[in-house]
Amino acid sequence: MNAEAWKKVEEAVAASRNTTIKQLFEHDPDRARKYTISAAGWTLDYSKNRVNAAVMKALRGLAEASGLKDEIERMFTGEKINRTENRAVLHTALRNVDPEAKVFVDGKDVMPDVRATLSKMGEFADAVRKGVHRGFTGKRIKYVVNIGIGGSDLGPVMANIALTPFGKRSIKCFFVSNVDSTHLAETLREVKADQTLFIVASKTFTTQETMTNALSAREWLVGRLGSEAAVAKHFVALSTNAAEVAKFGIDVENMFGFWDWVGGRYSLPSAIGLSLMIFVGPRNFARLLKGYWKMDRHFRTAAFEKNLPVTLALLGILYSNGYGAESYAVLPYDQYLSRFPAYLQQMDMESNGKCVDRDGRRVNYSTGPVEWGEPGTNGQHSFYQLIHQGTHLIPCDFIGFARTHNPIGDHHDKLMANFFAQTEALAFGKTADECRAEGDPEELVPFKTFEGNRPTNTLLAEELTPETLGALVALYEHKVFVQGVIWNIYSFDQWGVQLGKVLAKNVLKDLTAEKPELRHDSSTNALIARYRKALGR
């Protein structure tokens, strides 16, 4: 992190530290307008934060000193900014809906391949939706089972739930990710083999969980339909690895490809989105891409003070590095966004969960926060107590929509009343005097007082649509990118997941071998022995 620019942020924070959010509002009646910006169908009100003009200026100075403008261009133009894997980072090319656009990697324009894959996906999705592509016995496809994990699962599952109102309800989508056989078994109980399409989604096509689930699903299907030939009609693959797809026994004709410059957690707008496209149709998928693209353009061109991803990123850095906040809550007030926090967890924590800077040195500042959340109003009756009165500072993003897809009575007004009231309560709290004025007995006053001064962002759009969803995802993707640039870490690799994978292979041998080697520590050895004993091995 640029030390000089960060020092200026610290100075600005020190000068304003004793001014509460409440006082900031009292001093400036025009505050809400000044701290509200909009793009791609979204409005961000960040006025309920511990910031004034000087703090924001210093934060933007930090972004500039970090070379953010150039880094953004490097990403969009296909430079190999993922240095530890020597790859470009071009998820933005996947949703570049400009028909004239050209984006080069190693001197080759990638856009023709992007467009060709999209149209192959579109043809296949339509064929499934219209009953042209049928199962081995001639029946229509009624069930789609996406088998994948991490980025090959969380994006599709989040978006399938989010875009339910736009989906074809006669097609039911399932998502199997966990290697726990329960996940597959319970899913297979819900579907009929002759009407099921399995989509094996894996960038590498070597991921243990996905391959194990895919092989078991294949065995189940062949067993039910009585022929290996059924696989061709019931299995497709989404991958960058044609050789492994062929080895698995899926004809590469039935493969939808993508490229090493698409990170797993950024892959929803690639072929990985096929299950979503089948569910909502190619036109709605195109609208999703358009929403992403609008936010991409905004991010690339808007000045930092008007830039939503940059502003969200800077506020996150303020709390992580200036106020020692360790976690960050994302609270969507829409049941359709129930998996959005889980999706963001991978996007943010796998990207910025790093302790070494771009020069390979241990950083001496905090990087990516712990990210978590649940839809409102459920969370209010669970963990909000801690956000209001606990000892941890937890900045929150509140995400909501003016219109609901399911207007029943006054549900939506009540939902949104809670949405607005929570940020009000968190910012302004309730003083001891206010408690007394309401007649609270003196001994209860400390317990009923709310300190307030708890920061929130409010993100509001008119309606949850494919476009607003695409823009929302892109907003957070770019926020994470900006933070990675400022923290001077590499956001697009994930070496931290490797060690566990390697050790699990060794442990697996010891669980199943007739004579285990048991060359682990005493705890792991004893646990393995106990497991084997329980199974009579």
**Rounded least distance, CB 275 to ligand F6P, Å:** 14
Question: If binding is defined by CB under 6 A, does position 66 make contact with ligand F6P?
Answer: no
Of 82, 92, 117, 210, the one binding ligand F6P (CB under 6 A) is: 210
Question: If binding is defined by CB under 6 A, does position 204 make contact with ligand F6P?
Answer: yes
**Rounded least distance, CB 497 to ligand F6P, Å:** 4
> CB-wise, 152 or 187, nearer to ligand F6P?
152
Identify the CA nearest to 63 among candidates 9, 14, 16.
Answer: 9
- The CA radius of gyration of the chain, in Å to the nearest whole number, is 25
Of 202, 320, 422, 453, the one binding ligand F6P (CB under 6 A) is: 202
Asked whether 333 and 412 are in contact (CB, 8 A), the reply is no
Catalytic pick among 71, 209, 350, 371: 350
Instruction: Residue count of the chain, please give it.
Output: 537
11 belongs to the catalytic site: no
Question: Binding string to ligand F6P for residues 149 to 188, with x set by CB under 6 A, is what?
Answer: xxxx------------------------------------
- DSSP SS3 for 335: helix
- DSSP SS3 for 16: helix
Question: If binding is defined by CB under 6 A, does position 91 make contact with ligand F6P?
Answer: no
- DSSP SS3 for 371: strand
Per DSSP, the residues of 407-433 read --TTHHHHHHHHHHHHHHHHHH-B-HH
Place of tokens 């009575």: 409
Choose the stretch contacting ligand F6P; rule: CB under 6 A; options: 180-188, 196-204, 213-221, 415-423. Answer: 196-204
Catalytic pick among 7, 168, 247, 501: 501
Question: If binding is defined by CB under 6 A, does position 354 make contact with ligand F6P?
Answer: no
**Rounded least distance, CB 184 to ligand F6P, Å:** 16
How far apart are alpha carbons 534 and 67 in whole angstroms?
58
Give how far Cα 516 sits from Cα of 428, 433, 501, 509, 521, Å. Answer: 61, 68, 19, 7, 14
> CB-wise, 195 or 210, nearer to ligand F6P?
210
Identify the CA nearest to 321 among candidates 455, 459, 486.
Answer: 486
501 belongs to the catalytic site: yes
How far apart are alpha carbons 518 and 419 in whole angstroms?
54
Token digits of residue 61: 């100075």
> CB-wise, 350 or 467, nearer to ligand F6P?
350
Question: If binding is defined by CB under 6 A, does position 233 make contact with ligand F6P?
Answer: no
Q: How far apart are the first and last CA of the chain?
A: 53
- Longest pairwise C-alpha distance within the chain: 78
Question: If binding is defined by CB under 6 A, does position 491 make contact with ligand F6P?
Answer: no
Question: If binding is defined by CB under 6 A, does position 257 make contact with ligand F6P?
Answer: no
Q: Which of residues 273-332 bind ligand F6P (CB under 6 A)?
A: none
Question: If binding is defined by CB under 6 A, does position 503 make contact with ligand F6P?
Answer: no
- Helices and strands, counts by H and E, the chain: 24, 13
Which DSSP category does 319 fall into? I
**Rounded least distance, CB 273 to ligand F6P, Å:** 13
Choose the stretch contacting ligand F6P; rule: CB under 6 A; options: 87-95, 172-180, 199-207, 394-402. Answer: 199-207
Catalytic pick among 130, 381, 505, 533: 381
> CB-wise, 262 or 460, nearer to ligand F6P?
262
Which positions are annotated as active-site residues? 350, 381, 501
Contacting residues toward ligand F6P, per CB under 6 A: 149-152, 202-204, 207, 210, 264-265, 350, 494, 497
